[in-house]
């Protein structure tokens, strides 16, 4: 059996209009052409759908059942066409995004919010995990876009690297807030908040202090930088933190910000990357989001 869309559309119109000539007018075809399609349809099915009564076609019971099936199929095809047009116009689809803690608070949600304007039918899965897990999710080809500390090169990943420098968070009323640059000597023996042992920003910050003969007094040890900023607000410590956390804080607090973020020297590098699966092409929707996220990350890299 070889049923076609033309068979179904022609049959439906004959049933709706009750006339071959009227169906032909609606479909823009001649009466003989419509009759030929109906005859071919009946040949494919192996039995008649209509009883011929002179020039009239009287639907048999089978025709009414077949009409339900034909309409269901044609409606699904029409919906499929509309859906594919929306997907092509980036109006519908799904995004799977994974991000590390530093980017999850404001940076990625902010880009997602801008991207979704006018795209009410786009669904987003946004998951926050450690950089190591984000890397594995993207490498497994199950997520579209990932933001993580720059991993080692591997075949399963496409990596867009951004080289950023950490900044020093100080209370806005502290004299150091007016500095153009803060150095280890300015923080000699002063209480600091830093990440856990072995984390690269902690190691680089500690090494910078040691290189200049300053004492690095880590009063607070944390897993992520965001809680550290609350401690800095209270005047309990200072913190050399990543720029994504700084941007997220400034975005959230806006005019109510109690902190200043000052460049720190010598530079404490913070390597962050935009990851995508190497073995699965991105959809047009995911590619558009990736490009917007790339622009945002570059702007942050140039901000401090």
| Rounded distance between C-alpha atoms, residue 128 and residue 56, angstroms | 67
Domain 92-163+271-303: CATH superfamily is Periplasmic binding protein-like II (3.40.190.10)
Task: Please give the pLDDT value at position 279.
Answer: 92
**How far, in Å, CA of 238 to CA of 190, rounded?**
8
- 3-class secondary structure for 114-152? HHHCCCCEEEEEEEECCHHHHHHHHHCCCCCEEEEECCC
Name the CATH architecture for the domain at 167-267.
3-Layer(aba) Sandwich (3.40)
Q: Check: CB of residue 163 under 8 Å from CB of residue 301.
A: yes
Cα 94 to Cα 48, 145, 149, 291, distances in angstroms: 45, 12, 25, 16
Residues of the chain with pLDDT under 50: 87, 90
Q: Rounded CA gap, 66 and 149, in Å?
A: 59
**The CATH number of domain 5-88 is 1.10.10.10:** yes
**Segment (H or E) for 95:** strand 92-99
**Hey, what are 127's tokens?**
């998951």
Distance separating alpha carbons of residues 38 and 48, to the nearest angstrom: 9
pLDDT tens per residue across span 133-154:
999 999 999 999 999 999 999 9
Task: List every span in the chain annotated with CATH 1.10.10.10.
Answer: 5-88
Which pLDDT score is estimated for 243?
A: 96
Q: Give the pLDDT score at 196.
A: 94
Question: Looking up tokens 């502290």, which residue turns up?
Answer: 174
Residue 293: predicted pLDDT: 97
Q: Looking at residue 93, what is its pLDDT?
A: 83
* pLDDT, position 90: 44
The residues of the chain that CATH labels 3.40.190.10 are 92-163+271-303, 167-267
- Position 237 scores a pLDDT of 97
């Amino acid at each position: 059996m070889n049923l076609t869309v033309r068979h179904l559309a022609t049959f439906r119109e004959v049933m709706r209009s009750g006339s071959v000539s009227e169906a032909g007018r609606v479909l823009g075809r001649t009466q003989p052409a419509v009759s030929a399609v109906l005859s071919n349809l009946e040949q494919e099915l192996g039995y008649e759908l209509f009883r011929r009564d002179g020039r009239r076609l009287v639907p048999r019971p089978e025709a009414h059942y077949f009409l339900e099936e034909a309409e269901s199929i044609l409606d699904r095809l029409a919906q499929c066409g509309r859906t594919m047009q929306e997907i092509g116009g980036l109006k519908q689809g799904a995004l799977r995004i994974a991000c590390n803690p530093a980017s999850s608070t404001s940076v990625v949600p902010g880009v997602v919010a801008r991207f979704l304007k006018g795209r009410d039918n786009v669904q987003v899965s946004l998951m926050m995990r450690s950089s190591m897990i984000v890397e594995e999710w993207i490498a497994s080809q199950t997520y579209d876009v990932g933001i993580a500390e720059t991993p080692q090169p591997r075949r399963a990943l496409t990596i867009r690297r951004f080289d950023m420098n950490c900044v020093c968070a100080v209370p806005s009323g502290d004299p150091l807030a007016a500095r153009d640059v803060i150095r280890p000597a300015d923080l000699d023996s002063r209480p600091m908040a830093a990440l856990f042992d072995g984390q690269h920003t902690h190691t680089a910050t500690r090494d910078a202090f040691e290189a200049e003969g300053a004492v690095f007094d880590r009063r607070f040890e944390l897993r992520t930088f965001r809680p550290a900023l609350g401690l800095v607000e209270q005047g309990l410590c200072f913190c050399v933190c990543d720029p994504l956390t700084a941007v997220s804080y400034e975005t959230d607090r806006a005019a109510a910000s109690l902190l200043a973020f000052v460049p720190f020297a010598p530079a404490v590098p913070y390597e962050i990357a935009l990851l995508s699966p190497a073995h699965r092409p991105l959809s047009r929707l995911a590619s558009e989001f990736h490009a917007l996220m790339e622009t945002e990350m570059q702007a942050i890299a140039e901000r401090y």
